[in-house]
Amino acid sequence: MQYDEKLHSKLLTCGRSLEKKSNVHGLEKPFVETILATLDYFGASKAQLGLVHFDLVQAQYKIFDWLGMAYSGRIEDPNDSIATKSAHKCIENMIKIYLHQRHVGGFAWWLRDHDLDIEQPSRCVNCIKSYDHWHNQTQDERIKDQEDMEKLYGGNVFWN
């Protein structure tokens, strides 16, 4: 797949600045699941999803490192050119969201809170605030919020 070298370079510059405090990403499980679900929705193959799962759950690559590797070919599936194209476009949009948000948690919350199928990547200050609020809650507060959301929406909302 061809990729935009300028976009890739912007990602690396931004990511090195944002994610310099740790050797691994700090996203919690629900947000990693959101990344996987987004790729799945946009047509990534099972092989691609398995590799992404390894990269984000086991290796815990920093998000910008993972996005950069994925964009430059790491998750190409030689057995499924359609999935490769779909996943590549999804990754490209994720990079644009990451660059607009300039906040790793805000990036992941954007994926949860917006419809990438109909919305263009953009900055969302509310996503950053929502992630920070969620991240700073205790486990008991998260459980209470989950229970309240389930009363409103049924069992289709996850927080923990």
Tens of pLDDT, residues 80-138: 999 999 999 999 999 999 999 999 999 999 999 999 999 999 999 999 999 999 999 88
pTM of the model: 0.89
**DSSP tally for the chain: helices H, then strands E:** 8, 0
CA end-to-end span of the chain: 36
The answer on pLDDT for 160 being more than 60 is no
CA distance 66 to 88: 13
Tens of pLDDT, residues 54-92: 999 999 999 999 999 999 999 999 999 999 999 999 999
Other CB atoms within a 10 A radius of the CB of residue 153 amount to 9
